[in-house]
Structure 1
Amino acid sequence: MDVSLIGIIVASFMLLLLASGIWVGITLLTAGLFSIVLFSAAPAGSIQATVVWGQSSSWALTALPLFIWMGEILFRTRLAKDMFEGLTPWLAGFPGRLKHVNVVSCGIFAAVSGSSAATTATIGKITIPELLQRGYHPKLVIGSLAGSSTLGFLIPPSIILIVYGVAADVSISRLFIAGVIPGLMLMALFMGYLAIWSLLNPDKVPPREPSIPLRERVKRSTKLFPILLLMVAVIGSIYLGIATATEAAAVGVVGALVLAYVTGSLNLQTLRESVMGAMMTSCMVTLILAGAAFLSVAMGYTGIPRELALWVGSLGLSQFELLIALTLLFIVLGCFLDGISIVVLTAAVIMPIINQAGVDPIWFGIFIVIVIEMSQITPPVGINLFILQSMTGKNLLYVAGAAFPFFLLLVVATVLLIVFPEIATFLPDTVRG
C-alpha cells in the first residue's frame, strides 16, 4: 500500500480515538498497534512491550518526575508567589505585563531541564493559576506557555541537541554554544508578540498597577533570590560537570525543599500534596511519552519517515529549496512523531544530503531543533498540547488554537535563521577561532 495512504489512514484513526475522549497515551499506543498489525508483518505485541518498557525504564527519564516535583514544591509553597512578587515590579511596566512571566520562566527553566515536556509541566504548575487569578486572558496564558516551553529543546543543555550531535557526529559542545543566540531570539519574538497583542487589545489586559519606585523594586526583588539561587545551583552543577541532568534534578528537589522549609511554607500537608501532584503529572507525561515512542517505532515499520526523506532527497533541489522542503517535511512528521524520534529516524538519510549541499551541520542542528519545536505544539501528537490539555481541562482544539500564533513565530524564527545563518554560527565560530 502507498505510504501516503497509510499516513492518512493512521492519522484519521488517531483523530477518531481522540474525538472519542480516549486518553492521549492510550490513543498513541493503540494507533501504533493498529499501524504495525495492518501494515507490517512485525510482531506487534513484542515490539510494544519492548518499546514501552524501554521508554518507561530509561534512566534519562528519571529527571522528568524530579523536575516536576520541584515545580510542585514551588507551586504549593510560598516560593511560587514570591517569584511572581519578585518579577512583578520589573515586568508590570511592559505592554502585556505579567504575561511575559511565561517566557522568562520557561527560558530560565529550559537552561535547567533540557526537556520541553518538563518545562511545560513545571512552569505551567506555577504560572497558569497565578496568571488566571490575576485576570489575564486564558487563551494567551495557555498559548504563551505552549510556545515558550519549546525553549526546552533549544536552550542548552538540550536533550535533542545531544541526540542530534550523536546521530550526525557533530560536536555537542559547539551545538550548545550555537543554541544560545537563537534561544534569546525566540524569547524576544515571543515577548514582542505579547506586547503587540496587548497594545492592540487593551480591554483584555488587567489594569496597569501603580508605578513602583526603584528602591521598592529592588526590595521586592529579594523575594526572587531563592528561586534564582535554586536555578543557579541546578545549572551550575550541570555546567561545572559536577552532576548529570538527573542528578541536577535531585539537587533541585533538595534545594526546593530546603528553601520551602527555611521560608516556613513547608509542612506535612504541602509535602504530601506535592508528592501526589508530581506522581499524577509524571504518570500522565510518562504514558504519553511511552505512547509517542511506540507510535514512532510503528511509523518506522510502515516506512513513512524514510520514504518522505528519500523523496525529498531525490528532487535535486538548490540549498534554499532543500531547506524549505525539509522545513515542510519536518512539520508534517511533527504531526505524528515526537522530536527526538524525528531526528533518529531521518538523520541517516538527511545528513548525507545536507553535507552534499554544503550546509553547515552545526547550523543545521539548530535549524532542525527550531523546526521540531513546532511539532511540540501541532496536533495530533503535540506533547506540549497534551500536557496543557490535561492541566487546564480545555479541549485539544482550544489549546492548539491558543498555541497557533506561537507556531507562526517559530516559522518566522526559521525564516530568520535561513536568511541570517550567523544567528546560529557566530558564537561557535568565534569560540573556535
Structure 2
Amino acid sequence: MEQLLPIATFLFVLFLLLGTGVWVGLALLGVAFVGMELFTARPPGDAMITTIWSSSSSWTLTALPLFIWMGEILYRTRLSEDMFRGLSPWMARLPGGLIHTNIVGCTVFAAVSGSSAATLTTVGRMSIPELRKRGYPEHLVIGTLAGAATLGLMIPPSLTLIVYGVTINESITKLFIAGILPGLTLAAMFMGYVAIYARVSKRFDPKPEPVMSFAEKLANSRFLIPVILLILLVIGSMYLGFATATEAAAFGVLGSLVLAATQGSLNWATFTESLLGATRTSAMIALILAGAAFLSLSMGFTGLPRGLAQWIGSFELTRFELLMMLLVFYIVIGCFLDGISSVVLTIAVVEPMVRQAGIDIVWFGIFVVVVVEMAQITPPIGFNLFVLQGMTHHEMNYIARAALPMFAIMVVMVFILIAFPDLATWLPENMRQRPGG
C-alpha cells in the first residue's frame, strides 16, 4: 500500500510528541507540519496560518464557549443541592432507591452543562456524601456516577457533538436533537440495571427513607423548577426552531446568570472564576480543533484519508462489520486520548469510509459519542475515573471495576443504535430548524 510511509510517519511523530507531554493541539499541528514538509510541495507555513484562522473563526464554533460558560456558572451555584432535594422524594420508592438520583441528576445536569466532567463533579459532590450516609453500596454509588456522568457528552448541549459538527460541517442543532432520545434511552438502561441489582443483590440494604406525602413531594419539587425552565429555554428554543445552537447558548448563559443571581451565588468572584474557567477550556478545545483542521488538510494533500478509505473498501466489509471495526478502534484509542481529541484526530480518516458505506452522518455522530463515552470510564486515561479518584480517594482499579457494568451497558447501547437507527435520526428529521442551525 503506497500510503504506508505517510501513515508510519504521521503515527511516529504523533506518539513521539504526545509521549513527551506536548499539548494535544500542538502535537496535531506538529504532525501536520512534518507531513506537509515531507510529502507535499506546498509551503506548510502559509497553509497552517490560513487553516488555523479559518477553523478558529467559524461562526458555528461560537456556541462552544457559550455552553462551556453556562456550565461553569451553574457549577458554582447550589444547583446540585437543589436537584438532590427535588429528586430524592420521588426516587426513594423506586427499586434501587436514591441511587437513581445519581442517574437522573446527571441526566438533568447534562442537559444544561454539555460536559461530562462538570456533570460528574456537580452531581457527585452532593450525592456521594448523602448516599454514603444512608448505607448504599460504595461500588454502586461510584459506578452509576461514573457511567451516568458520561451523558454530558450525549444529551444536548454536548461539547463533543459541537466539535464533531464543526469538524464534518454538519448542523449542530440537528446533532443536538439527535442526541436526546439515545441519551434518555441510555439513562433508562442505567436505571434498569440499578433496579435489577437492588432486587437480586443481598448486599443492597440502605437505610429506609422517611415516608413523605404526595403534597410534601410536590413541595420539594419546587427546587427543580429553575433548572427545568433552563432546559426548556435551551433545548426547546432549538427544537421549536426559534433559535440556532449559538443563540440557544446565549439564552442559556443569560438564564444561568439569572439562576445564580436568584440563588445568591452570583458575585464578582464567581463571575470572573466562571469566565476564566470557560476561557481556559474554550482555548484548549479551539487549539485542538485548529490542530485537527491543519492535520486534515495535510492528510488531504497526501491523499491518506482517500487511500485508507479505498483500502478498507477493498475488503468489502458490510456496514455492520465496518461499525464493529470502528467500535473496537475507538475503544482502543479512547484508552489513551480524551473524547474530543479522539474525535478530531480520527474523523478526517473515518468520514470518507462512513460516507462511502452509506451511513447517515448524523447517526454516526451519535454512534461515535456513545463509544467516546466508554473512553471516559476506561483506564488508563479515563477522565471520569481521575475525577472520581480525586473525589473519593479510592484506587483507580476499584473505580474502574465499579464502572465496568456501565461500560457493558454502553456496549449494548451501540447495538441498540445499530438495530434501531431511527432512535437517533427520527427527531432531527422531523424538527423545525432555523437557517444557520
Q: State the TM-score, normalizing by the size of structure 1.
A: 0.72
Counting only pairs closer than 5 Å after superposition, residues 242-321 of structure 1 correspond to structure 2 as: 242-301=242-301, 303-317=303-317, 321=318
Alpha-carbon distance in 2 for matches of 1:205, 1:46:
65
Whether 1:127 aligns to 2:131 is no
> Corresponding residue for 2:370?
373
> Corresponding residue for 1:351?
355
CA deviation map 1:295-337 (0-9, x unaligned): 44444455443333222322334xxx33222331365368386
Q: Is the 8 A contact 1:102 1:144 kept in 2?
A: no
Aligned AA (2:262) = V
> Corresponding residue for 1:225?
225
Whether 1:143 aligns to 2:140 is no
Aligned AA (2:150) = G
Segment drifting more, 417-426 vs 268-277: 417-426
Alpha-carbon distance in 2 for matches of 1:24, 1:204:
43
CA deviation map 1:59-115 (0-9, x unaligned): 3222222222222222212233212221222334556655545644554566667xx
> Corresponding residue for 1:332?
329
> Corresponding residue for 2:187?
187
Q: Is the 8 A contact 1:140 1:402 kept in 2?
A: yes
1:228 deviates by 0.8
1:226 deviates by 0.8
Counting only pairs closer than 5 Å after superposition, residues 20-169 of structure 1 correspond to structure 2 as: 20-38=20-38, 40-94=40-94, 100-101=100-101, 103-105=103-105, 107-108=107-108, 118-134=114-130, 135=132, 140=143, 143-145=146-148, 147-152=150-155, 159=162
Q: Is the 8 A contact 1:7 1:304 kept in 2?
A: yes
> Corresponding residue for 2:214?
214
Change (3 A) 1:331 1:218: same
Segment drifting more, 82-91 vs 204-213: 204-213
Give % identity.
42
Q: State the TM-score, normalizing by the size of structure 2.
A: 0.72
Segment drifting more, 367-376 vs 265-274: 367-376
1:222 deviates by 0.6
1:174 deviates by 8.6
Q: Is the 8 A contact 2:179 2:424 kept in 1?
A: yes
Alpha-carbon distance in 1 for matches of 2:298, 2:402:
30
Q: Is the 8 A contact 1:226 1:259 kept in 2?
A: yes
Q: Which runs of 5+ in 2 are unaligned?
A: 133-137, 432-437
Alignment size in residue pairs: 413
1:234 deviates by 1.9
Alpha-carbon distance in 1 for matches of 2:390, 2:303:
35
Change (3 A) 1:408 1:307: farther
Q: Is the 8 A contact 1:86 1:222 kept in 2?
A: yes
